[in-house]
Amino acid sequence: MSVRPLRALLEHHYTIVGVVVPATRDSRALGAVTDVSDQIPVRNASADSDGLDTLAHVAHEHGIPIFEVGGVSHPETVDVISSLSADVFCVSCFPYLLPESLLHLPILGGLNVHPSMLPAHRGPDPLFWAFHAGETETGVTVHRMTEVFDAGAILEAAPIPMEDGITERQLQRRCSEAGADLLVSSVSRIVSGTLSETSQESSRVSYDPMPVASDYVVSTSWPVRRAFNFMSGISGRGIDFTIVGGDSEIKVRRVLRPVPESSEASMSEDGHGIVNITFSDGLLCAKKSHQ
């Protein structure tokens, strides 16, 4: 969800002095930071939530220098980024924690666009955990960058509804659109000196790690709505879900529909790969995994 914020800044006539992206596995061997401005980027169907452009493509389109970074603390990286003389860092979905040697460079500080209503769901994959928790609303927050992930003061935030059956791709797009608007507003107010900031409430902080295989396990004790929305939302990742109920276990690839009716937990298969699974308050139809 980094492309829309970049395009929004360009549309509002902010000068982008450089774009920094994580180094690919192949480019890490080239050093801490590599100028790839002269390389023509290839469209990547999974790069943006619309399946269109990457950050590199937008940067190339507008003649913006682009750098691949493998070591954010490396002196070479600090020197290159310092030479750009940026007034503010605008960050979205960047996987590395920026050190103080970088954070002190821009005179107006660093801003991060995070797809949750901070301080809830700090961490690298907040949308997964919003789906996993069965939430009906998430959001986007623009916050100050500090030496702790997602912990800086909140500048602006906006809630985003999660209706039944929404996919991660659809939710990413909404977060990207809202985040772009919030970022432009935050930068404008920083420049004008009218921005107020709010410290995150420590009592409401939650941090979620990257999901692992066990986080794709779904219990039949869950409400059927939570199970349906979690699996509908995350199924685009192509990872099988393990449904566990009593002594039974089955792997499914995607869910088809929920049927609200209550009975004892059970699992049955129709012989054509469609499984009917009873949860705590309803029935769920799903497509069985071929693995």
For the chain, what are the domain ranges? Answer: 3-204, 213-288
Indicate the CATH number of 3-204 among 3.40.50.170, 3.40.50.620, 3.40.50.300, 3.40.50.880: 3.40.50.170
> Which single residue is written with the structure tokens 């006539």?
13
- The H helix count followed by the E strand count for the chain is 7, 13
Question: Sheet harboring 248-259: ordered strands across?
Answer: 217-219, 241-245, 248-259, 282-288, 274-279, 267-269
The H-or-E segment that residue 139 falls in is strand 137-144
The predicted pLDDT at position 276 comes to 87
The predicted pLDDT at position 23 comes to 87
Three-state secondary structure call for residue 99? coil
Distance CA 146, CA 150 (A): 8
Asked if residue 133 lies in contact with residue 118, where contact means CB atoms within 8 angstroms, the answer is no
Q: Provide the whole-model pTM.
A: 0.90
The predicted pLDDT at position 51 comes to 45
Mean pLDDT per 10-residue segment, the chain (291 residues): 93 96 67 83 53 79 93 92 97 93 96 98 98 98 96 98 96 96 97 94 96 96 95 94 90 82 57 83 86 57
